[in-house]
Amino acid sequence: MCGRAACSLNPDSLCRACDYKDATGKRRTTSWTKTDIEYIPSTNIGPKDALPCIISGLHFGKDEQVLCAMMWSMIPPWHEGDYRKHNLSTHNARLENIKNSKLYGTPLRKGQRCIVLCEGYYEWKAGKTKKESKQPYYIYATQEKGVRADDSSTWKDEWSEETGWKGFKLLKMAGIFNTFKTGEGKIIYSCTIITTESNSILSWLHNRVPIFLNKEQDSQIWLNEKLTIDEVVDKLNKLTLSDGDLNWHTVSTLVNNVLCKNEDCRKEKKSIEEKKSNSSSFMASWLKKGSAESAKRKSTETEKNDNVMSKIAKEK
């Protein structure tokens, strides 16, 4: 699950959208730290593309949290050659297996935890039969009245120390990251999103969901390197979705192609079932109209024939 996401805010807006309270209680924006991965805003981000992440600044010798662009799909440390050509599916990691995982256990023990950011992610609902196409959905945080997730012209870009970020509410998901040194000496940051079993809110769509860090306190706990693995995993197990946290709508199958990056990917569209229903209704209406017109023609022809026969009878 969670194999496609959208994050279209520009880098400066993301700094404001990821604001937080420091140790003194002052609200601050989050600054970027430069890496060898570039964040490119897009409405259709797939595995091995770049996603923005928040990590503890201690990894860079800083006291405050920082933004860092990472490749979405953790690179196995034993991989050799082009880092983008590893063959493992590592964009998601199951919470149930994470502590004992050969791939994820080591960075977890090193405190390499991150918060993966996006405006929303895509999920596909299987059809009733294998022949039916899967219906893509776009899932996002519930927004203020008047804010449309598929129309960025309705979003604000406002921030102040007093009120904080007043723009689009991002999804913040628990993740872990690792570093990989290429043959050229570049340090590549890569991440995975931690998933858990769905509860009743999204189980109709998929049996797995990301672990959402909905409260600022949840984010602070996840990035706190002083907490042990058992402590943080225990806290993740206690995080649950609540009614009203998320919203969603159906989108077109344009998003199926990861090379398609335009705004239409997340535009709300009628579902495949609705289109079939409308098509069936149109066909039924057309057939009904055709039958009515046919009956009317037959009635008119019969009436004409009766008139002709009546006239002939009178002439005789």
Q: Is residue 306 part of a domain?
A: no
CATH number at residue 90: 3.90.1680.10
Helix extents (H) in the chain:
11-17, 105-109, 216-223, 229-237, 272-315
Q: Is residue 33 part of a domain?
A: yes
**From the candidates 2, 15, 114, 265, which is the catalytic residue?**
2
Q: Is residue 300 part of a domain?
A: no
Q: Of 97, 79, 95, nearest to 87 (Cα)?
A: 79
Q: Is residue 65 part of a domain?
A: yes
Asked whether residue 70 carries a pLDDT value surpassing 60, the answer given is yes
Specify whether the CB–CB gap between 2 and 174 falls below 8 A. Answer: no
Q: Is residue 295 part of a domain?
A: no
Q: Which residue has the higher pLDDT, 201 or 291?
A: 201
Q: Is residue 258 part of a domain?
A: no
Residue 11: give the domain boundaries.
4-119+158-197+207-242
| Mean pLDDT of the region 24-43 | 95
Asked whether residue 138 carries a pLDDT value surpassing 60, the answer given is yes
Tally of domains within the chain: 1
- CB contact set of 236 (below 8 Å; sequence gap of 6+): 95, 174, 194, 196, 211, 222
Percentage of the chain lying above the pLDDT 90 cut: 75
Q: Examine the residue annotation and report whether 7 is marked as an active-site residue of this protein.
A: no
Both structure tokens of 38: 């570039």
DSSP string, 92-158: EEEGGGTTT-TTTHHHHHTT-EEEEEESEEEEEEPPSSTTSPPEEEEEEE---TT--TT-GGG----
Q: Examine the residue annotation and report whether 132 is marked as an active-site residue of this protein.
A: no
Q: Express each pLDDT in 254-278 by its tens digit.
A: 999 999 999 999 999 998 766 565 5
**From the candidates 15, 118, 123, 265, which is the catalytic residue?**
123
Q: Record the pTM.
A: 0.86
Asked whether residue 297 carries a pLDDT value surpassing 80, the answer given is no
Q: Is residue 268 part of a domain?
A: no
Q: Is residue 124 part of a domain?
A: no
Model pLDDT, residue 302: 63
